[in-house]
């Protein structure tokens, strides 16, 4: 069963909503707003979890009746957030794979890629985008390629 | 590791104020009372945002709009004496099926972390019950239901409880404690 | 659908009649099997009654007095109903303290709470021969009530005490009835006799003693009757 993925965000350590931003049906403005809200949510929950569960605890996901948000944070404070259908199983591995196989391979190792993605310019990295698209292939046709536009928080 | 257990319960009123806070078992850091208040307020805000973030909202709104159009169209058709309306599904003598309103977005219901699981139940009146459990705890829905029932009985029916104020009801404490102990001991 | 239209044009504003025209006054007085009420609705009603009685009170005694006053007329009226429902031979007004208290413990309690009271005792203190105690381990009216710490002497079963008082007054046994919590640490002042041993306190945190103190003339009469 393919899992329906609604959108995917990467935030760098400065909380710039950078990275690949994609959404199935999106207007760019809404996307920007959502990125801000998602970052705020994820950031608050992550802090709350650390406060309650101790510093070694990590926020994994939350679910509402409409969607599920999966979260993965790298040791370098890069934050991945993916919104899927609510019934989806843990996507932690997938996020981890995206980090290892796509981000590290195509963005970090790319000498032309900036070290920091400032002002929410987005990643704009063709190889990375292609890799993401490939991952999506099993997904439903409704998942169009959204704007690669990135929102800054 | 630790067994399955219900660790703590927080109740947040509709304004985001913490009105009840009880810890039943090990597994979470103990915060000071001010931190708990802040936590409740933060969660209240986050909950509202998670409800707004529904990725399907435009899709659902469009769907609803289309249905409504169809309904109005078919209703006016039958009023004019037209024989068959395109509505199909509806069994009544009215036009098409009543447009079904999309479910209101729920907001955060379950949160998972490496060390614990948080289940949130938002009542119709906006009171939130937060049940912190072990990651392995099953049937949290049942426990949540029971906690809500105890609240409805021993808090809402208590003549000395003032709405939206901190819950200080001995009976509620007692019943809640014995219920949670029952769960935690029957692993 | 069409059958749901109102049957007659006798609708009155503010009053609602069942569609078959039978109100509570049409029911036979003797039928008690199906007369159960929802405990939740009673709890909400009672909660409002207590809140109403708590307005502008000066002391806890004030509040208890008001609850007592609310219960008193109920007791007076219930006495008639209960006696009416007795089998024809025993349909007499209680003539001694014991038969009266027994009526309260059995009939009244069963009618109100669906079970008999948990105990009936006479004060062991020889100085107080006019005091009797009716014990309820878990008063139904207090089921959902948590009394705040600063009102710890309060027992909302004062309402039930009022009902008992009404029954006593109605049968010409004038008495003062008060409710005391004995489940918690502090024992009620009058219930300090040896009867109330410690084991009940743990099991029944809501244990309540209704202290019935009869008027002197009642005892006087009782002593005459005893002789005869």
How far apart (Å, rounded) are the C-alpha atoms in residues A132 and A128?
Answer: 6
How far apart (Å, rounded) are the C-alpha atoms in residues B102 and B64?
Answer: 7
Whether chain A lies against chain C with 3 or more Cβ pairs closer than 8 A is: no
pLDDT at A15: 61
Q: Is B59 within 8 Å of chain C by CB?
A: no
pLDDT digits (tens, 9 = 90+) for A69-98: 999 999 888 899 999 999 999 999 999 998
**C145, C148, C156 member nearest B168 (Cβ):** C148
Cβ separation B43–A48 shorter than 8 A: yes
Given a cut of 90, is residue B61 above it in pLDDT? no
Is the Cβ–Cβ distance between C46 and B159 less than 8 Å?
Answer: yes
Whether chain C lies against chain B with 3 or more Cβ pairs closer than 8 A is: yes
| pTM reported for the whole predicted model | 0.80
Residues for chain B: how many in total? 187
Is the Cβ–Cβ distance between B159 and C48 less than 8 Å?
Answer: yes
Is the Cβ–Cβ distance between A148 and A22 less than 8 Å?
Answer: yes
User: Best residue in C50, C144, C156 to probe B by mutation, most B CBs within 10 Å?
Assistant: C144
CA dist list (Å): C205 to C140, C180, C187, C199: 13, 12, 12, 11
**C40, C47, C205 member nearest B159 (Cβ):** C47
How far apart (Å, rounded) are the C-alpha atoms in residues A30 and A1?
Answer: 29
How far apart (Å, rounded) are the C-alpha atoms in residues C225 and C222?
Answer: 5
Q: In what order do the strands lie in the sheet with C131-136?
A: C119-122, C131-136, C208-214, C175-181
Say how far residue B63 (Cα) sits from the centre of its chain: 25
For A46, the closest chain B residue by CA position comes to B113
pLDDT at C184: 61
How far apart (Å, rounded) are the C-alpha atoms in residues A71 and C71?
Answer: 61
Cβ separation B159–C146 shorter than 8 A: no
For B173, the closest chain C residue by CA position comes to C146
Is the Cβ–Cβ distance between B140 and B132 less than 8 Å?
Answer: no
DSSP secondary structure letter of residue C15? B
Contact residues, chain C, for B168 at CB < 8 Å: 146, 148
User: Best residue in B112, B118, B141 to probe A by mutation, most A CBs within 10 Å?
Assistant: B112
Which residues of chain A are at the B interface, by a Cβ-Cβ cutoff of 8 Å?
A: 6-7, 23-25, 30, 34, 37-38, 40-41, 44-45, 48-49, 51-54, 56-67, 69, 83
Cβ separation A48–B109 shorter than 8 A: no
pLDDT at A148: 32
How far apart (Å, rounded) are the C-alpha atoms in residues B33 and B18?
Answer: 10
How far apart (Å, rounded) are the C-alpha atoms in residues A61 and A70?
Answer: 4
Given a cut of 50, is residue C115 above it in pLDDT? yes
Contact residues, chain C, for B20 at CB < 8 Å: none
CA dist list (Å): C228 to C93, C132, C223: 19, 23, 9
Task: Please list the residues that pair with B22 across neighbouring strands.
Answer: B9
Is the Cβ–Cβ distance between C218 and C174 less than 8 Å?
Answer: yes
CA dist list (Å): A149 to A36, A152, B62, C102, C149: 13, 10, 24, 85, 60
Average pLDDT along chain A: 76
In degrees, rounded to 5, the angle at the alpha carbon of residue A16 between the alpha carbons of residues A105 and A27 is: 95
How far apart (Å, rounded) are the C-alpha atoms in residues B51 and C223?
Answer: 76
Burial class (CB within 10 angstroms; exposed 0-12, middle 13-18, buried 19+) of A18: buried
pLDDT at A12: 80
The helix or strand, by DSSP H or E, that contains position A62, with its residue range, turns out to be strand A59-63
pLDDT at A82: 92
pLDDT: is A90 or B186 the higher one?
A90
pLDDT: is B58 or C83 the higher one?
C83
Checking ipTM against 0.90, whether it exceeds it is no
Is the Cβ–Cβ distance between A67 and A86 less than 8 Å?
Answer: yes
How far apart (Å, rounded) are the C-alpha atoms in residues B88 and B99?
Answer: 13
Cβ separation B55–A65 shorter than 8 A: no
User: Best residue in A7, A39, A41 to probe B by mutation, most B CBs within 10 Å?
Assistant: A41
Which has the closest alpha carbon to C155: C115, C198, C206?
C206
Contact residues, chain C, for B93 at CB < 8 Å: none
pLDDT at B137: 83
Cβ separation B157–C50 shorter than 8 A: no
pLDDT at A77: 86
Name every residue whose Cβ is closer than 8 Å to that of residue C127 and which is 6 or more positions away in sequence.
none
Cβ separation B172–C51 shorter than 8 A: no
Contact residues, chain B, for C44 at CB < 8 Å: 157
Is the Cβ–Cβ distance between C80 and C99 less than 8 Å?
Answer: no
pLDDT digits (tens, 9 = 90+) for C49-74: 999 999 989 999 999 999 999 999 99
Given a cut of 90, is residue C189 above it in pLDDT? no
Cβ separation A57–B45 shorter than 8 A: no
Cβ separation C145–B172 shorter than 8 A: no
Given a cut of 80, is residue A21 above it in pLDDT? no
% of chain A exceeding 90 in pLDDT: 29
User: How many Å lie between the alpha carbon of B78 and the closest alpha carbon of chain C?
Assistant: 21
How far apart (Å, rounded) are the C-alpha atoms in residues C214 and C195?
Answer: 20
Burial class (CB within 10 angstroms; exposed 0-12, middle 13-18, buried 19+) of C220: exposed
Secondary structure (DSSP) of C154-213: --TTHHHHHHHHHHHHHTT--EEEEEEE-SSSSPPGGG-STTS-THHHHH-TT-EEEEEE
Cβ separation A60–B46 shorter than 8 A: no
């Amino acid at each position: 069963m393919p899992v329906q993925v609604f959108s995917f965000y990467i935030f760098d350590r400065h909380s710039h909503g950078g990275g690949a931003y994609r959404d199935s049906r999106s207007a760019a403005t809404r996307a920007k707003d959502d990125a801000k809200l998602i970052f705020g949510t994820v950031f608050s929950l992550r802090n709350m979890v650390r406060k309650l569960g101790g510093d070694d605890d990590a926020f994994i996901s939350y679910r509402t009746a409409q969607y599920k948000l999966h979260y993965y944070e790298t040791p370098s404070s890069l934050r991945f957030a993916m919104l899927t259908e609510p019934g989806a199983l843990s996507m932690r591995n997938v996020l981890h794979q995206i980090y290892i196989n796509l981000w590290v391979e195509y963005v970090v190792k790319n000498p032309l890629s900036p070290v920091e993605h400032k002002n929410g310019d987005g990643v704009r990295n063709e190889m990375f985008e292609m890799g993401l698209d490939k991952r999506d292939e099993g997904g439903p046709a409704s998942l169009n390629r959204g704007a690669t536009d990135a929102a800054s928080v | 590791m630790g067994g399955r257990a219900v660790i703590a319960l927080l109740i947040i009123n509709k304004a985001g104020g913490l009105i009840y806070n009880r810890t039943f078992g090990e597994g979470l850091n103990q915060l000071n009372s001010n931190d708990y208040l802040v936590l409740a307020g933060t969660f209240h805000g986050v909950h509202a945002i998670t409800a707004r973030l529904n990725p399907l909202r435009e899709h659902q709104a469009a769907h609803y709009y289309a249905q409504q159009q169809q309904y109005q169209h078919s209703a006016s058709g039958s009023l004019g004496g037209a024989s068959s309306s395109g509505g199909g599904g509806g069994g009544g003598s009215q036009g098409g099926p009543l447009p079904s309103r999309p479910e209101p977005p729920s907001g955060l219901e379950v949160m998972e972390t490496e060390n614990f699981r948080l289940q949130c139940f938002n009542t119709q009146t906006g009171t939130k019950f937060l049940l912190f459990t072990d990651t392995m705890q099953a049937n949290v829905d049942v426990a949540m239901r029971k906690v809500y029932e105890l609240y409805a009985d021993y808090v809402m029916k208590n003549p000395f409880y003032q709405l939206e104020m901190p819950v200080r009801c001995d009976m509620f404490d007692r019943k809640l404690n014995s219920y949670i102990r029952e769960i935690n001991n029957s692993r | 659908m069409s059958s749901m239209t109102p049957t007659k044009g006798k609708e009155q504003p503010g009053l609602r009649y069942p569609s078959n025209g039978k109100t509570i006054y049409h029911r036979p007085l003797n039928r008690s099997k199906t007369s159960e009420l929802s405990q939740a609705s009673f709890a909400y009603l009672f909660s409002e009654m207590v809140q109403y009685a708590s307005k502008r009170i000066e002391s806890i005694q004030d509040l208890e007095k008001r609850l007592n006053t609310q219960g008193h007329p109920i007791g007076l009226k219930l006495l008639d109903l209960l006696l009416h429902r007795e089998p024809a031979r025993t349909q007499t007004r209680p003539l001694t303290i014991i038969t009266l208290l027994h009526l309260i413990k059995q009939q009244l309690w069963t009618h109100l709470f669906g079970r008999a009271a948990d105990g009936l005792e006479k004060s062991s203190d020889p100085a107080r021969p006019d005091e009797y105690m009716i014990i309820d381990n878990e008063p139904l009216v207090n089921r959902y009530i948590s009394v705040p710490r600063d009102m710890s002497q309060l027992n909302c079963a004062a309402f039930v005490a009022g009902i008992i008082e009404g029954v006593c007054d109605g049968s010409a046994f004038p008495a003062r009835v008060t409710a005391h919590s004995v489940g918690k640490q502090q024992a009620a002042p009058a219930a300090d006799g040896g009867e109330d041993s410690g084991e009940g306190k743990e099991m029944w945190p809501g244990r309540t003693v209704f202290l019935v103190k009869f008027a002197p003339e009642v005892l006087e009469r009782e002593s005459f009757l005893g002789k005869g």
